[in-house]
Amino acid sequence: MMARTLKLLVAASLAAGLGACASTPKQPDPTPLGPVATILQAKTAWSAHVGPVPATFVTAAVGTGASAGVVVASSDGVVARIDAGTGRELWRSQVKGGISAGTGSDGTFTAVVNDANQVVSLGPQGQVLWLYQLPTSVITAPAVVGGTIVVQGADQRLWAFNAATGQKLWSNVSRAPALLLQQASGITAHGDDLLVGNALGRIESVSLASGTLLWEATLARARGITEVERVIGITGAPAVAGSMVCARAYQSTIGCADLDTGRVLWTDKAVGATGVSQNGSLVVASQGDGVVQAYDAASGAAGWSNSQLKYRRLGAPLLLGVTVAVGDYQGYISFLSAKDGSIIGRVSTDGAAIQCPMVGVGNTLVAVTAKGGVFGFLPE
């Protein structure tokens, strides 16, 4: 029997708890933003618009150098590729019926899932190449790696397709819990393998060529009495750097595992629902109460923390060199020092929440807001 899906609020409101299932205390008012000593400046290089963007969508960073860009999508069916340096729109496509999961791209092929649960493959100019009907809904953005599209269904099954032809290459089945979170996990490419977060609190290493499970790392185990309390799915795409992969299990833990063996290096209790960022030395995360917390990547020892953004419904942070960028519910991006967590700069967007993970493309930080504003910033 297909696992039941829990319809929960998406990332911007998940920090308030499972409000759709039980009453919870009212959250404190968001902390007002104070003045910032502008040590880091970031100018708005360009902006664009694509339409409403759910918190479960991701921005695909593609290309390098002069060809670096992003591919973004909106729930009303727009898919667009934008040059990261200039903001010039290279192509725009319209997917009929709207989009439920996006966006994956390798720079040549792009994949989304439409509202009819069909995988949609787009070619180099955004042209629709083929559609494939899935037997389940999809929340997590597809991954596109070297001409292969990989999709994770809400029932945790994986499918792989040839992006050009639509040929199904393989599929596998992963055990799903009785209750699933309406929250995206993620698929991250690493060499010839994929790192997949699943609903059982595990990161799985899967062969891109065959779908074979290579190893699995358990970051959290269900311990509650009710099905709601036992929801521990990985939220956000696994973060890869150095010799480790790190991730968050919903409202329970943050941890890292060895990339080669899957051996869990450490876990730490952490309440939150957004993904993590890491660079091999430092792991950073936005906790459910808006505290930004740093950890030593090797040991998991808690480092600095910043509580100046409490209850501002933060998105996932992004490590950018010596800074950490984090967006909030009003569309502000605060820049924190990666050394000590102090706020060293701030920019604004269009006033809408920044729920999707931001990406760094070349020298440009790209942020997408809930109402579809796409902004390129150049930190200086």
Q: Is the pLDDT of residue 24 over 60?
A: no
Q: What is the pTM of this model?
A: 0.91
Q: What is the pLDDT of residue 232?
A: 80
- The residue with tokens 């009495």 is 225
Q: What is the pLDDT of residue 195?
A: 98
Q: Is the pLDDT of residue 11 over 80?
A: no
Q: Give the closest residue to 337 by CA, choosing from 40, 33, 41, 42.
A: 40
Pairing, β 179-181 against β 4-6: parallel
- The residue with tokens 């029932």 is 155
pLDDT in tens, 108-155: 999 999 999 999 999 999 999 999 999 999 999 999 999 999 999 988
Q: What is the pLDDT of residue 28?
A: 92
pLDDT in tens, 160-175: 999 999 999 999 987 6
Q: What is the pLDDT of residue 226?
A: 61
| Banded pLDDT at 181 (limits 50, 70, 90) | low
Mean pLDDT calculated for residue range 194-209: 95
Percent of the chain with pLDDT over 90: 81
CA distance 106 to 71: 10
Q: What is the pLDDT of residue 9?
A: 32
Write down all domains in the chain, each with its CATH number in brackets.
37-53+273-380 (2.130.10.10)
Q: What is the pLDDT of residue 174?
A: 72
CA distance 340 to 304: 6
Q: Is the pLDDT of residue 13 over 60?
A: no
Q: Give the closest residue to 76 by CA, choosing from 50, 109, 49, 55.
A: 50
| Contact (CB, 8 A) for 184 and 236 | yes
- The residue with tokens 């200086």 is 380
Q: What is the pLDDT of residue 179?
A: 57
Q: Is the pLDDT of residue 225 over 90?
A: no
Of residues 378 and 232, more confidence is placed in 378
Q: Is 328 left (phi over 0), alpha (psi -120 to 50) or beta?
A: beta
pLDDT in tens, 62-112: 999 989 999 999 999 999 999 999 999 999 999 999 999 999 999 999 999
Cα→Cα distances 365→17, 42, 314, 326, 356, Å: 30, 9, 17, 11, 13
Q: What is the pLDDT of residue 81?
A: 98
Mean pLDDT over the full length of the chain: 90
Q: Is the pLDDT of residue 20 over 80?
A: no
DSSP state of 149: E
Q: Is the pLDDT of residue 372 over 70?
A: yes
Token couple for 44: 């708005």
pLDDT in tens, 280-324: 999 999 999 999 999 999 999 999 999 999 999 999 999 999 999
Q: Is the pLDDT of residue 197 over 60?
A: yes
Q: Is the pLDDT of residue 186 over 70?
A: yes
| Contact (CB, 8 A) for 70 and 51 | no
Question: Which amino acid is present at 161?
Answer: F
List the Cα angle 195/70/143 in 5-degree steps: 25
Q: What is the pLDDT of residue 15?
A: 35
CA distance 233 to 189: 19
Question: Mean pLDDT lowest for which of 17-21, 80-84, 133-137, 222-226?
Answer: 17-21
CA distance 289 to 46: 32
Token couple for 250: 């919903």
